[in-house]
Amino acid sequence: MTRSHPADGPRVLVNLLRTGGRDLFTRTRAAGADRGSSDALGAALIAPAAIALALVILFLGRSVDGRATVQSAAESAAQAAAQERSPAAAIAAAQQVGEAMLVDVTSCSDPSVVVDTSAFGPGGSVAVTVACTVSAAGLELIDPPAQTSTATAFATIDPYRSAGG
């Protein structure tokens, strides 16, 4: 390595301005030219980890979506059951609404709707439990465990409504 004299500073600056910095850029690029193989190796090591991370994030998103869908279906089914006049009609309405809301197999497969009408009557309540398995389709690389989402919702029946038969 050569040492420059302090008086060479202005001369180097003039040369840098005259060439527009091309000399400096060429040296920098030439010094990093041998890094091609290490860049490829870094990409080969990081790419699988990035793909696995993306798949885990996708699975977590499906899990949250499945739980939200199940909770929403349970609440809607309970409200539909509370509007009916008889326990049999309440069960039918709750199952119809619950199953209609769980038709997307990418977020929820194998749905089940269970209706409890033991307290059915004016001022009583209806409980609806909805369960389904979160789909793992397309996530076979990370082999996620089967996860069942369950939600129970309650709806109060109007106390001033007349009981029907």
For position 54, what pLDDT does the model report? 87
For position 113, what pLDDT does the model report? 94
pLDDT tens-digit series, residues 101-152: 988 877 788 889 999 999 999 999 999 999 998 877 777 667 777 788 999 9
Q: Which residue has the higher pLDDT, 55 or 70?
A: 70
Domain ranges of the chain: 35-156
Q: CA 57, CA 158: separation in Å to the nearest integer?
A: 43
For position 13, what pLDDT does the model report? 59
Return the minimum-mean-pLDDT range out of 62-66, 71-75, 76-80, 130-134: 62-66
Q: CA 131, CA 41: separation in Å to the nearest integer?
A: 46
Q: Which residue has the higher pLDDT, 76 or 64?
A: 76
Give residue 101's identity as a one-letter amino acid code.
M
Q: CA 112, CA 118: separation in Å to the nearest integer?
A: 19
For position 56, what pLDDT does the model report? 83
For position 131, what pLDDT does the model report? 94
pTM of the predicted structure, to 2 decimals? 0.67
- What percentage of the chain has pLDDT greater than the value 90? 35
Q: Which residue has the higher pLDDT, 96 or 1?
A: 96
Instruction: Return the percent helix, strand and coil in the chain, to nearest 5.
Output: 55, 15, 30
**Is residue 79 very low, low, confident or very high in pLDDT (cuts 50, 70, 90)?**
very high
Distances (CA, A) of 68 to 102, 152, 155: 11, 12, 18
pLDDT tens-digit series, residues 28-46: 555 555 566 777 778 888 9
Give residue 29's identity as a one-letter amino acid code.
R
For position 82, what pLDDT does the model report? 94
- Relative orientation angle of helices 8-19 and 22-31, to the nearest 10 degrees: 90
Q: CA 98, CA 154: separation in Å to the nearest integer?
A: 14
